[in-house]
Amino acid sequence: MKASFFFMFLISSVVLLAQDLPCDSTIARIIQPITQADTITSSDTLYMSSLVSGTPVLVQSTVAICFENGFEVAASVSFEANIDGCLTDFSMENIFGGNIDLDNLENYANQPVPNYINEDNTDGNPITDIGATLGRVLFYDKNLSVNNTIACASCHLQEFGFSDTRVASVGVDGATGRHSMRLINSRFAEEERFFWDERAATLEDQATQPIQDHIEMGFSGNDGAPDLDSLIRKMNQLEYYPVLLTDAFGDAIITETRMQQAIAQFVRSIQSFDSKFDVGFDIVRSQGGNNQLGSNFPNYTDSENRGKALYLTNPNNQNGQRVSGGLGCNRCHGAPEFDIDDNSDNNGVIGVIGDANATDLTNTRSPSLRDLFDGNGNLNGPSMHDGSLTTITAIIDHYNVIEVNTNLDNRLRGGPGGGQNNGQRLNITAQERIDLEAFLKTLTGSDVYTNDKWSDPFIN
């Protein structure tokens, strides 16, 4: 490659005279177009990334250009130059290969969503193709951790429903305090708050908290650790962010709000609606009639239909003991989204990872029950905030006999004697266990595990 020369100067006005400039598509998005004389004043911001001695350069309110073949630069200070160099832009392909094509973006904004899905917590941050693309890069970028070893995707893996098979995920300074929640269908939930304890008011609020967690990704600003401003300075030295930010927001300024918006758009784009359940529901809906959700699905086995009925139907109790009816799962995890009711309290799991004597009553959220299992019928990692339930048998056992705590959801109370001081007793039979498990497995899709648009875009 021809040697390049780097020029940087501060000015109040610059005139670029470009002759026969080969207009690279990425450059053209930043400077539209450089095919004639353009004036850039000090109030403008010109962002270009230049590979100079292998170092990406970002300049704001400064003009930083590499020139080729007699390009002339005239400044208000009467500076003129003819420099034999090259006008260059970093290669997206060197970083992402063919995984990101800014001229042919993946479809995130207009994915088909079944018309029976009613919940949507987008609320002012609609998904765009470029916004979700930026979010995808942020989600997989290990540079967002203090030691370049951990990304959001390190704890939320596509092959496991964007969860983790470990009880506690590993961060830059130890293990996480709670299990990493599945992210599939995060958009399609009545509950707008996020984290197990709902401490984040929105998905946007949640998006950068792990980055600023001292254990997880490290930019906490505590105990000598760098803060988020340090991360933004670091990101300013990564040549791909100016291009992506400019496409997504119109300029290359990195802010926490923009990071939150982009990551949230990507996470909300992760959807799964190609399960056996969706196929069956489409069939019965096309046939019309009442109680379509409760009708037998023609593509289900007898066991799966029985399990669906158990899930949807409330129990009939006598003296706090279930004697007939279903299991009442739908009261908290409402079909067809299978998301958690936003008025839910604790579900009776109160453990703390790493401390057998501690209790935690604050956990009131859960992920969607869609894709609880993978396509092979295995759980997508352990369940609950403390990862304490590692089999479907253990999960069913837990809900079969609930122990009361002060923050227990009232729908799980009313055990022996029928009082609020006793947890439910469902008396689930062996066959009912088989049927419920069979039904829950019909909620698993396939595309979400392999679709490239949700995969790691980096080639290294």
Of 113 and 2, the structure prediction assigns the larger pLDDT to 113
Domain ranges, ordered by start, for the chain: 1-90, 94-272, 276-444
Per-residue pLDDT, 20: 32
Say how many residues make up the chain: 460
pLDDT tens sequence across 148-161: 999 999 999 999 99
Residue 151 three-state SS: coil
Specify whether the CB–CB gap between 30 and 92 falls below 8 A.
no
**Range ranked top by mean pLDDT from 7-16, 58-67, 409-418, 420-429:** 420-429
Residue 399's closest CA among 458, 308, 333? 333
- For the segment 245-254, the average pLDDT, to the nearest whole number, is 96
Angle CA 200–202–207, to nearest 5: 75
Residue 272's closest CA among 128, 125, 450, 133? 450
- 186 membership: H or E segment, kind and range: none
**Range ranked top by mean pLDDT from 10-24, 27-41, 170-184:** 170-184
With 50 as the cut, is the pLDDT of residue 11 above it? no
- For the segment 374-388, the average pLDDT, to the nearest whole number, is 97
Residue 136's closest CA among 152, 113, 124, 115? 152
With 60 as the cut, is the pLDDT of residue 436 above it? yes
Rounded Cα gap, residues 437 and 274, in angstroms: 19
Specify whether the CB–CB gap between 243 and 130 falls below 8 A.
no
With 80 as the cut, is the pLDDT of residue 193 above it? yes
Domains 94-272 and 276-444 equal at CATH topology level? yes
Structure tokens at 160: 């496991």
All residues at 6 or more sequence positions from 451 whose CB lies less than 8 Å from its CB, including other chains: none
Of 47 and 113, the structure prediction assigns the larger pLDDT to 113
- Alpha-carbon separation of residue 81 from 72, 328, 388 (angstroms): 6, 78, 68
H helical segments located in 179-275: 203-207, 228-235, 240-249, 256-269
Specify whether the CB–CB gap between 45 and 60 falls below 8 A.
yes
- 73 membership: H or E segment, kind and range: strand 72-75
- Residue 394's pLDDT band (cuts 50, 70, 90): very high
- For the segment 302-317, the average pLDDT, to the nearest whole number, is 97
Region of poorest pLDDT, from 284-293, 322-331, 383-392, 447-456: 284-293
With 60 as the cut, is the pLDDT of residue 31 above it? no
- For the segment 270-284, the average pLDDT, to the nearest whole number, is 97
pLDDT tens sequence across 33-81: 333 333 333 333 333 333 222 333 333 333 333 333 333 332 222 222 2
- For the segment 269-274, the average pLDDT, to the nearest whole number, is 98
What secondary structure does DSSP assign to 392-431, as a single string? HHHHHHHHHBPPP-TTB-GGGB--TTS-TTSB-B----HH
Rounded Cα gap, residues 69 and 322, in angstroms: 84
What secondary structure does DSSP assign to 4-30, as a single string? ---EEE--SEEEEE-SS----HHHHHH
Q: Which CATH number fits domain 94-272: 3.90.1150.30, 1.10.760.10, 3.40.1160.10, 3.30.110.30?
A: 1.10.760.10
For 189-206, b where at least 16 C-beta lie within 10 A, e where not — what string? bbbbbbbbebebebbbbb
Per-residue pLDDT, 90: 57
pLDDT tens sequence across 92-107: 889 999 999 999 999 9
Per-residue pLDDT, 419: 72
Query: Given the DSSP bridges, would you call strands 333-334 and 339-340 parallel, antiparallel or unpaired?
Result: antiparallel
Rounded Cα gap, residues 275 and 249, in angstroms: 35
Per-residue pLDDT, 319: 86
- To the nearest 10°, the Cα dihedral for 109, 111, 117, 118? 20
Whose structure tokens read 């894709």? 371
All residues at 6 or more sequence positions from 227 whose CB lies less than 8 Å from its CB, including other chains: 212, 219, 220, 221
Whose structure tokens read 């490659």? 1
For 276-444, give the CATH class: mainly alpha
